[in-house]
Amino acid sequence: MPPPPVSTGRPRFDIAEIVRQHRDELEATTSLGSEQRRVLSAIAQCRTASLGGHVDRCQSCGFERPAYNSCRNRHCPKCQALAQEEWIEARAERLLPVRHFHVVFTLPCELRGLAKAHRKEFFGALFGSASETLQDLSQSRFGGTLGATMVLHTWTRDLNFHPHLHAIVTAGALSSDGQRWVNSGKKYLFPVQIMGTLLRAKMLERLHLLRRDGELGTGGDFERILSAAAAKKFWHVYVKPPFKKVEHVTKYLGRYTHRVGLSNSRLVAVTQDEVVFTTKGGKQARLTPVEFLRRFVQHVLPPGFLKIRHYGLYAAANVSRKSPIAREILTRKARPAAPTVRVAVVPIEDWRERLRRLTGRDLSACPICGGPMVSVDLPIPAARGPPRVARCV
């Protein structure tokens, strides 16, 4: 008896199909920016003959399938799995062996319209304000520098616009003289009300400076918007309990770094009139296809904008300076005997091998019989070649 078919693990519905069928309706009712149109085109063409590809054939049963190239756009829900795992693998080497807190910085709803109109400037101000909040408190309470990695998200589970930052923060800091590590409390980083109050002051100051420099336009509603936001005593900052093991940190953060507004796996039903997808707590949202696409494209980031940023001990400037000092202090007491160093030749992986090692997905197995799949010399012509380098920032 032949073995059962191997599951491909592919979702039943695809956002790309919604784009292909309803993009014209969207553009007839909604004004899109050039980057939003570019993203929709990339998603629609991803893993289709438009980008070219090759043919895979099973050596056991002869089954053939086309293997189309990916668009590698950072907003595409089908192109993030490998990029995410590669990022996790790279960041794991830089993490300090210490507990980390998960901190979420959110903004009042009064500022969302301003954020939509001036995304690059507004999001940059949010990163700067949140990082300064952490470093100021680190200096005043620990007398040193902490490490933080921040990721920007702009969506809620039902795809509404809600910019906020997820941050992984070291539970302590390297003292200013570089001689010791100062631990935070086991269940406590900083008072959340103080963090929210500091965030408010720093963000409002940055927005005023941007307005002064002409970066936020000259509309008459600016002062009214900022006054409404400033009227709130403190802005909401949420701190989750720290991770006990360092290896859990990157895996947890990796869930946030390369996430897009909505993945194909959350689609429950797609018809010509309705898109149904899961939200929070097992609930579902029902939207028309055009409204679904309108909400999806509002989360497209400005071209070249870095949505993952590192600060303090994790900043690029400290990777070879303060971070190694902190690592030495943290590992000094528990350092094992140095093992014999053996230099091994590491074979070069192609993308299929790397995908299998990092995610467990084996594209070399036949979905019919489980036999080995090999590429045959039957290239699929493409309208243009795929990008050679992924743009995941």
Per residue of the chain (393 residues), give pLDDT as tens: 444 433 445 678 999 999 999 999 999 999 999 999 999 999 999 988 888 887 888 888 878 877 788 888 999 988 877 667 776 777 777 889 999 999 999 999 999 999 999 999 999 999 999 999 999 999 999 999 999 999 999 999 999 999 999 999 999 999 999 999 999 988 889 999 999 999 999 999 999 999 999 888 766 688 899 999 999 877 999 998 777 677 677 677 767 777 788 989 999 999 999 999 999 888 999 999 999 999 999 999 999 999 999 999 999 999 889 999 999 999 985 555 444 334 343 444 554 565 565 556 666 788 778 788 777 755 665 554 444 444 433
Residue 222 backbone dihedrals phi, psi, to 5 degrees: -60, -50
Q: Tell me, what's the pLDDT at 379?
A: 60
Task: Evaluate whether residue 186 is within a structural domain.
Answer: yes
Task: Evaluate whether residue 40 is within a structural domain.
Answer: no
Task: Evaluate whether residue 137 is within a structural domain.
Answer: yes
Q: Tell me, what's the pLDDT at 360?
A: 61
Q: Tell me, what's the pLDDT at 363?
A: 67
Task: Evaluate whether residue 377 is within a structural domain.
Answer: no
Contacts of residue 296, defined as CB under 8 A and 6 or more positions apart, other chains included, come to 15, 159, 261, 262
3-state helix, strand, coil in the chain (%, to 5): 40, 20, 40
Encoded tokens for 148: 């933080």
DSSP string for residues in 264-333:
GGGEEEE-SS-EEEE-GGG-EEEE-HHHHHHHHHTTPPPTT---EEEEETTSGGGTTTHHHHHHHHHHST
Which residues constitute the domain of residue 180?
95-261+303-318
Q: How many domains is the chain built from? A: 1
Task: Evaluate whether residue 136 is within a structural domain.
Answer: yes
Q: Tell me, what's the pLDDT at 359?
A: 54
Task: Evaluate whether residue 240 is within a structural domain.
Answer: yes
Question: Which pairs count as long-range contacts for 328-332, CB under 8 Å and 24+ apart, including other chains?
Answer: 329/174, 329/179, 329/180, 329/181, 330/96, 330/97, 330/98, 330/181, 331/97
Task: Evaluate whether residue 35 is within a structural domain.
Answer: no
Q: Tell me, what's the pLDDT at 355?
A: 55
Q: Tell me, what's the pLDDT at 356?
A: 62
Task: Evaluate whether residue 87 is within a structural domain.
Answer: no
